[in-house]
Structure 1
Amino acid sequence: MKPGLKTLISGITLFILGGFVIPFLLILPLFLNESANTQFLIPGSKEVTVEKPGRYYLWNDFQTVYEGKSFSRSENIPDGLEIAVTDDTGKTLAFNSDTSTSSSSGSSSKNSIGYVEVSDPGKLMVSVTGDSEERVFSFSQSIFPKMFLAILGGGTASLLTAFIGFGVGIWGVIKLVRNKRGEQGVAPNA
């Protein structure tokens, strides 16, 4: 194999890894992580188990399929709904309104209603009461810190790997050109 060809192939491989493979592998799990999303019908309540502290969101799953039944409701929740989240000691957690986030995946769409800050793992009771047609809500931990870290860390690793790959590729081309000049009897430039 000609000197420089292995270097060129290594550079191209690193560039492809940095530009496409690393970002894909880091971000894909974030979009596939729907397993901790606990759905329930409202008006009603649902007991959920919280395994680690953090911010947990209550979502309005306005377009979804729940237990084999499709739901397509308004993005806006009805007036007068009462929302309460209590821990296993009976203490009511402060519910903070936050309708700034929405999410779509396939044929399902949801938007945030609000969140609670959970400081201790354990069981929570999420209750939604009031005059409303049957609709689906869900409760899950915020993925935004994970997403931010994946984008920041993955982006840095990706850019660094792609940049190194580009440099190694250029070095491979230079080595190939020098080798070709040497074979033709042309003195390489110093």
Structure 2
Amino acid sequence: MKKGIIKIISGVLVGISGFAIMVVWILLPLIESMESNPQFMGPGELTYHAEEPGNYFLYNQYRAMIDGVLYDKPESLPDGFQVAITDEAGTQLEFHSDRSFSFSSGETKGRSVGYVQVTAPTTLEIQLSGFEGKRPFSFGPNDLWGFMKDVLLSLCLIFLGLAAGAGLIIWGIVDLTRKPKKEPPPLPA
């Protein structure tokens, strides 16, 4: 096989690998982090250990499979919905309403209800009340800045992969179109 064709094939593979980075580096960890937040049924309560400072979100999982049962509820919260979140000292934390995040993964669909700001590691008690009927919820951190850094880094890596792939393809095309060098005539003996 000619060197130029090998370079073109290498360029295509390097370019494709740039897109594979996006799936491995961004999408899979994002889906895994959403699914790793503990689920619980409301009305009810959950004890959660916040290991580091940050914003911790409550999610309304309006479609979720829990213990083999598929819950398919309206996306809107029921009338009378109340949430109270306290830290290990018993201090009630201010709950900030925020419905800006939504997610979908397989059978699970959800939307953020709001969040609390945690300033130091603590154990949180989440209590949901004021409504009838069981509904699935989840609770956990939402590291938007960390996610955005991962997105920017992976976009840079994708660009570098595409640029390197394009460079290899161009180099391969140049090799294929280049005329072979003529051998100089042999010197007389």
TM-score for the superposition, normalised by structure 2: 0.86
Q: Which residue of 2 aligns with 1:112?
A: 112
Q: Which residue of 2 aligns with 1:161?
A: 161
Q: Which residue of 2 aligns with 1:182?
A: 180
Q: Which residue of 2 aligns with 1:103?
A: 103
Q: Which residue of 1 aligns with 2:20?
A: 21
Q: Which residue of 2 aligns with 1:126?
A: 126
Q: 3-state SS of the aligned residue for 2:180? A: helix
Q: 3-state SS of the aligned residue for 1:33? A: helix
Inter-partner Cα distance in structure 2 for 1:37 and 1:171:
48
Inter-partner Cα distance in structure 2 for 1:34 and 1:100:
15
Flag the 1:3–1:45 CA change in 2: closer, same or farther, 3 A.
closer
Q: Which residue of 2 aligns with 1:85?
A: 85
Aligned partner letter, 2:137 = F
Residues 55, 143 of structure 2: 8 Å contact kept: no
> Once the 2 structures are TM-superposed, how far is the Cα of residue 168 of structure 1 from its aligned partner?
2.1
Residues 95, 114 of structure 1: 8 Å contact kept: yes
Inter-partner Cα distance in structure 2 for 1:13 and 1:70:
42
Inter-partner Cα distance in structure 2 for 1:31 and 1:143:
13
- Structure 2 gap segments, 5+ residues each: 183-189
Inter-partner Cα distance in structure 2 for 1:111 and 1:29:
18
2:91 is the alignment partner of 1:61: no
Q: 3-state SS of the aligned residue for 2:36? A: coil
Count residues with an aligned counterpart.
Answer: 181
Flag the 1:45–1:14 CA change in 2: closer, same or farther, 3 A.
same
TM-score for the superposition, normalised by structure 1: 0.86
